[in-house]
Structure 1
Amino acid sequence: MSARRAPRRLAIRPRATVLATGAAVAALTLSACGAGGTSGGSSDTKFIQGKGGVDTVARGDRKHAPELTGKTLDGDKLDLADYKGKIVVINVWGSWCTPCRAEAPNLVKVAKDTEADGVRFVGINTRDPDPANAIQFEKEFKVDYPSLYDPIGKLMLRFPKGSLNPQAIPTTIVLDREGRIAARALTPLSEESLRKMLKPLIEEK
């Protein structure tokens, strides 16, 4: 009678997971329709975490916003440099994002009310593979300010490390009249909280 052979053990080697590099990886760090963490992780970050998810930067510590140019959802060319001398509200949104839908009427209302104060609104539409969905969103909520079309998040990655950069969808970033990043909200904004965010910058001389 032959001896039984011990069962062979197969050596299972873990398969290497190949991750996409560059912009694609960084883009995936953004939380879809959720709050993010603090910006960049840089030791020289000098923003002040405020209540209600709104962070601000003292006037002397602000960093310049990156160059933001591209095509809008309407197919027009937009360059943020054209808003020099204005306070600019940049709202990162997606048509699929429920909190974005909740805050949209507030943004539209405040945009109209503050235009005479030198405030301009610009959207960055992201994670919408089909721009038709985003265009329908704008029609539904009567959004009459332009939005750059950024389906894979390249524009968001241009914000400097250590600044108040976008880390969630929605994110709202406010630039002062010198084009510097002054405030950020990683949460959907009420009309009241948006007005509070803008008031100190409107009063700056």
Structure 2
Amino acid sequence: MSPRIVPARAVPARLAVAGALCGLLAGCAGTNAAQNGPDGSDNRFISGNGNITEYKAADRKGLQDVTGEGLDGKPIRLADLKGKVTVVNFWASWCAPCRGEAPSLEQIHNEHKAEGLAFLGVNFKDAKDNAKAYERKFKVGYPSVFDADGRVTLAFREVPPSAIPSTLVLDRQGRIAARVIGATTYTKLNPVVAKVLAEK
């Protein structure tokens, strides 16, 4: 599990945001990063290996309530999804690995939503028009929070995603049951989702 980040109240707000986002930007990660950006800028992301870390029920951490505005302009609260197994995917339209995993995520969403599975995207440091075009292209059937400045991502600091893309699987109590750093596939993620759905 990642160490706890110093609470934002202990440092100026801008420094707290910059520090928490450090792990997502290659400027803080040395050479282990790929260049990309929503507007040609020097935003970069760490390349994860796609490995999945699963957490036993006794070791799972909950999250503070995550709120934000969806790409459609409607308010979104993660707490509204409690009682469902929820997959939270951090993505951006400028991220090539995100495009690669998008069909697998949509397939899992469609196969299990009748069993109580919900999906929520977190669109990270992106342009809204580009993000909407991405959703149309990949026929994304679940909502995403628009996180242009990275502040929504801070709410996940107990188990930070650390790369774009990253994916969290939350159990029905809203606790983190599994984490994927980097792009995933149907073959890797679907069994984990099915396992959490089968929990009593």
Query: 1:56 touches 1:184 (CA, 8 Å); kept in 2?
Result: yes
The counterpart of 2:106, out of the listed 101, 105, 108, is 108
Deviation digits for residues 166-189 of structure 1 (CA, Å, limit 9, x no counterpart): 100000001000010110000211
Q: TM-score scaled to structure 2, two decimals?
A: 0.80
**Deviation of 1:203 (Å):** 1.1
Distance 1:158 1:58 in 2: 21
**Deviation of 1:52 (Å):** 5.0
The alignment partner of 1:67 has SS state of coil
Tell me, yes or no, if structure 1 residue 34 matches structure 2 residue 28. Answer: no
Letter in 1 for 2:52: V
**Deviation of 1:200 (Å):** 1.4
Q: TM-score scaled to structure 1, two decimals?
A: 0.78
Matched positions, count: 169
Distance 2:92 2:161 in 1: 13
Partner of 1:82: 80
Query: 2:67 touches 2:78 (CA, 8 Å); kept in 1?
Result: yes
Distance 1:84 1:56 in 2: 19
Distance 1:64 1:26 in 2: 18
The alignment partner of 1:29 has SS state of helix
Distance 1:65 1:110 in 2: 23
Tell me, yes or no, if structure 1 residue 179 matches structure 2 residue 156. Answer: no
**Deviation of 1:33 (Å):** 4.1
Partner of 2:31: none
- In the alignment, structure 2 segments of 5+ residues that lack a partner are 1-13, 26-43
**Deviation of 1:155 (Å):** 1.4
Query: 2:71 touches 2:143 (CA, 8 Å); kept in 1?
Result: yes
Query: 1:65 touches 1:179 (CA, 8 Å); kept in 2?
Result: yes
Partner of 1:196: 191
Deviation digits for residues 53-86 of structure 1 (CA, Å, limit 9, x no counterpart): 1001101111112211110001011111111100
The alignment partner of 1:200 has SS state of helix
Which consecutive segments of 4 or more residues in structure 1 shift more than 4 A?
none
The alignment partner of 2:160 has SS state of coil
Letter in 2 for 1:27: L
The alignment partner of 1:21 has SS state of helix
Letter in 1 for 2:19: V
**Deviation of 1:26 (Å):** 2.0
Distance 2:17 2:165 in 1: 19
Letter in 1 for 2:67: T
Distance 1:27 1:194 in 2: 25
RMSD: 1.6
Distance 2:50 2:23 in 1: 22
Tell me, yes or no, if structure 1 residue 137 matches structure 2 residue 122. Answer: no
**Deviation of 1:22 (Å):** 1.6
Partner of 2:149: 152
The alignment partner of 2:46 has SS state of coil
Letter in 2 for 1:28: C
Q: Select the structure of larger CA radius of gyration.
A: 1
- In the alignment, structure 1 segments of 5+ residues that lack a partner are 1-19, 37-50
The alignment partner of 2:47 has SS state of coil
